[in-house]
Amino acid sequence: MLELIDSHCHLDFADFNPDRLKVLARAKAKGVTHFLVPGIGVHNWQAVLTLASQHQGVYAALGIHPYFLADFDDSHLQLLDDYLATAKNVVAVGEFGLDKMADFPFEQQLQICQQQLLLAKQHHLPVILHCRKAHNELIQLLQQAKLPRGGVLHGFSGSRELGMQYIKLGFKLGIGGVITYPRAAKTRQAVSELPLTSLLLETDSPDMPISGYQGGRNEPANITEVLQTLTKLRQEPEELIAKTSVSSFFELFLS
């Protein structure tokens, strides 16, 4: 069986409360050995850390997602700084970023994003980035930040040119369920051409359903569907894609 990694899954979400252990077991039965669970705001950091401490192969990231800024105040950044200094099993800062669809002033999003980039730099950690309709602004922040360990743009969707802009800055791209949709022609074309060494696999579960499973809950075991689609699109051996993405994950987060 091929070793696989789900580089972005929200295993702490309440969607998994009824059967979290079974979800993990199903993924492990399909070869998934590592799970990276990103934080989204102060309210879920403890849950993410608890999961990582309880389950082998589960790793934590802590960050403030642009969708969860309604009750934001500066003390959250101070708390993040404290957590990053002391918490165990934290391998990245994230997920955070910029989102023009989020119901929160964009100027403030820019500041909060910049401050989290700074924390990543200070704690010498890679980042997990979320971005919607704000790539130019995010790329500009990344150029200024000069992160020592780079990171991943999660949920990549877009052109080859866009992907290359991140790759040239030393970033990986998180490839998920988007590519299983025939209508995502531009992204499918892009992932067939981008350098394999820059691609990580992710489900973003419970969100981002695989094509054909819309309306249902997504889960890490479905990472095999992402791999299969990527294999078809790239016309490369499945083992090569699996192995390369696993090495890239280790190199970025666990080295």
Assess contact for 157 and 191: CB atoms under 8 A: no
Question: CA angle 183-188-192, nearest 5°?
Answer: 160
Instruction: Please tell me the distance from the alpha carbon of residue 179 to that of residue 227, in angstroms, as a whole number.
Output: 10
Strand order in the sheet with 32-38: 4-6, 32-38, 58-62, 90-99, 127-132, 151-153, 171-175, 199-201
Q: Which of residues 203-232 bind Zn ion (CB under 5 A)?
A: 204
* Nearest distance from C-beta of residue 47 to Zn ion, angstroms: 14
Instruction: Please tell me the distance from the alpha carbon of residue 92 to that of residue 123, in angstroms, as a whole number.
Output: 9
* Nearest distance from C-beta of residue 237 to Zn ion, angstroms: 29
Q: Which of residues 168-207 bind Zn ion (CB under 5 A)?
A: 204
Instruction: Please tell me the distance from the alpha carbon of residue 109 to that of residue 135, in angstroms, as a whole number.
Output: 13
* Nearest distance from C-beta of residue 8 to Zn ion, angstroms: 6
* Nearest distance from C-beta of residue 44 to Zn ion, angstroms: 11
* Nearest distance from C-beta of residue 55 to Zn ion, angstroms: 18
Q: Which of residues 73-92 bind Zn ion (CB under 5 A)?
A: none
Report the residue number, 11 or 117, with the smaller CB distance to Zn ion: 11
* Nearest distance from C-beta of residue 236 to Zn ion, angstroms: 27
Report the residue number, 139 or 153, with the smaller CB distance to Zn ion: 153
Report the residue number, 99 or 204, with the smaller CB distance to Zn ion: 204
Burial of 213 (C-beta count, 10 Å sphere; 0-12/13-18/19+):
middle
Report the residue number, 20 or 243, with the smaller CB distance to Zn ion: 20
The contact mask relative to Zn ion for 1-40 (x = CB under 5 A, - = no) is ----------------------------------------
Assess contact for 54 and 79: CB atoms under 8 A: no
Report the residue number, 12 or 204, with the smaller CB distance to Zn ion: 204
Instruction: Please tell me the distance from the alpha carbon of residue 116 to that of residue 98, in angstroms, as a whole number.
Output: 12
Q: Which of residues 103-142 bind Zn ion (CB under 5 A)?
A: none
Only one residue has tokens 């700074």, namely: 118
Report the residue number, 204 or 225, with the smaller CB distance to Zn ion: 204
Q: In this chain, which residue has its C-beta nearest to Zn ion?
A: 204
User: Which stretches of the chain bind Zn ion, using CB under 5 A?
Assistant: 204
